[in-house]
Structure 1
Amino acid sequence: MYLSTLAELALGSRLKALSDQFYAAADEVYRACGASIESRWFPVLRYLWGNGPGTVGEVAAAIGQTHSAVSQLVDKLDAAGMVRRERDPQDGRRSVLVLTDQARKALGALGPIWQAIRRGVSASLGEDGGRLLAALAACEEALKERPIVPAILAEHAALLAQPLEIVPYEPALAGDFYRLNVQWLERYFGVEDIDRQMLGDPERYVLAPGGALLFARMGGQAIGTCALLQEAPGVYELSKMCVDDSYQGLGVGRKLLDAAIAEFHRRGGRELFLESNSKLRTALRMYEQVGFELQPGVRPGSHYQRSDVYMVYRAPAERLAG
């Protein structure tokens, strides 16, 4: 399942999908058993049935929903003849929610259905069901003690406060060169044989022929990389540029690109080119901003099946002279 691969990022979406599935199952059971109730009504009706009249605020606090959500649901229950609003006999300034006789009659007949739901869920989920209920209870308590929004914002601030550094290759980074590139290639295209060869042994296929490898690092973790491949004396290809998905939007790619161009100049390079794909529009705009110019057609003798863009770098002074 795709959402499971996103882990914490999709927690709300996965819980919403499960919630919808359980709601739909309960509604189907109610219909099959001839019960005049909807699953989404259950929390409010069950609370009022067990605790007596209460305000919207009291119900919302008890069932963990917002005041607005409960108020909207009460409007539907009122229209369905299940709940009515009455003045609180002890405080005429506020209203309380009261079950109607219709609701009490409907709820009074649901005991066997609720028991069947308990048993059916247990039979379907097995021990996982019990663990899920325990995990939900633990999650609810944890969120009371440690609200999630401040925790996320604190982590975001800490992330942005970490310095970004561009560092050259060292043997300990070989695995990161492979990991980052495979992650990027599998997301957009697929890994070709030439990729596997280079990624598996960068010292042999990048460094030994006179190229260079650069890495972007934050908090000691490699989050991006790129390579300068020397095709001939003074002729370099910008290649294997990628940034970890989790760090997109921090300007990492641009800093890597600037560092690669600076390394090209430091080496006295006379030609720098790259091959890319037309669907990578954001990356192509970035290349154009630093001086890469689109060439007609693909590069003669291109090694990559995915390449349909060929660009050549011209330094600012060259562009002005031109």
Structure 2
Amino acid sequence: MDLIQQLGAMAFASRLKRLSERLHKDVSRVYDRHSVDFEARWFPVLYALKERSSQPVTTLASSLRLTHPAINQIAGDMEKQGYVTSSRDKKDERKRLLRLTSRGRKLIKDLEPIWRIIESETGKLLKTSGGNILKSMDKIESALDKKDMYERVMEKLKNLYFKKIKIVEYKPQYKKYFKKLNYEWLKEYFRVEAPDEKILSDPNKYVIKPGGFILFARYKGKIVGTTAVMNHRNSVLELTKMAVTESARGKYIGEKLAVKAIEKCKRLGAKSIVLQTSPKLKAANALYEKLGFEKVKDSDLDLPKYKRKTIMMRLEL
């Protein structure tokens, strides 16, 4: 039984990796049989240097579409064998140049007959598929350039989680969750200050009655997140007290809360939304920027003052 084969598209990357490793292993055996001290995984770098014998690591990484660490590792191994040398670029000290040595050039001459046979046999192998695998791979890579697998999967996961997350309005019985959820993250990153305590202890007085609102996120039957919007003068609302319990993070709960809060602010006729956040909250700040919030120097609003370092952000509606 070949489980990877049976899994089909689900194990596509694993199957490609397995095939790649199998071919690399066979080619390395050929090199070893001919007493050539060379590893198959070095081939792209050596061939690129054959075309142009001196190149920066950054150029090699870009043209081969490999990471800098991968190029550096291969270059380091090849340098130990005396096939390349490395030095700093005189024009730009930040760049590392790789150059073929005389030993490296001799290696290429020894390998070229083997490469031609490998190319021929690989071509025959590809024909057994009955289709043009190389063109198919070109199309796959082109599609991934437009939208990589990470984006594709995360987009679908977001849609999946959004369907499972239910956003509900404030009710007196939810008051305890508003305080509990916010206490959890405040104690994790900072400490609960007087303005926090005031709002969290009486949300009806400080949020609801002045014209604001509080939303809660229910996931798998449990309240796992919350956010509040406080009403200030000049039709400006403040997004505040957003919290998601630790066990439910990474499931787009904060994002759905923020999206629904923004939608409601628009319905209320708000001109803009402001928020105070901390530089420490990198994930939250990335979300705010994704939603269109921009950093501003100050605000003319009488917002709560905290001892923790805060930055102001604003979203124009």
TM-score scaled to structure 1, two decimals?
Answer: 0.47
TM-score scaled to structure 2, two decimals?
Answer: 0.48
Which is greater in Rg? 1
